[in-house]
Structure 1
Amino acid sequence: MYAKKIRVFIILAISDSFLDATEKLNITQPTLSKQIQLLEEKFGFKLFLRDNHGCYLIDEGKIIL
């Protein structure tokens, strides 16, 4: 059930950017953001720090990865 969201998380975690991840996954940026948001809601904590320069795994995300 969550395999797609986990795959999206892994690709984003190892990618340089949202753009790189969307190209690898062949999905749009809003779709990628929504999948990550749903996964974060399921876990109950954030996985990434997002800013104007991209996104970065935080400690909780590193543990999950």
Structure 2
Amino acid sequence: MKLTKEQAHKLNAIAAENFEKAQGMLDGINMVLGTEYGWLCRRVVFFDDTSSVAAKYATAHDAWANAEE
């Protein structure tokens, strides 16, 4: 299951105001959905390759841009 555009937008907005709160919310979402969303420049992203930190961020994609309506 993926985040919707609205959910990704709300997380990005909260991260701009209070990153720790947004991090806790994203941790909960990842736990419930079984996903591995992360952050890049305080925006929610997902990764194609999680084999290493370098590979993770080299394959990061903005979650809002790829979210379902």
Q: What TM-score bracket applies, with the shorter chain setting the length?
A: 0.3 to 0.5
TM-score of the two chains, using structure 1 as the length reference: 0.43
TM-score of the two chains, using structure 2 as the length reference: 0.42
Say which structure is richer in helix.
1
Between Structure 1 and Structure 2, whose CA radius of gyration is higher? 2
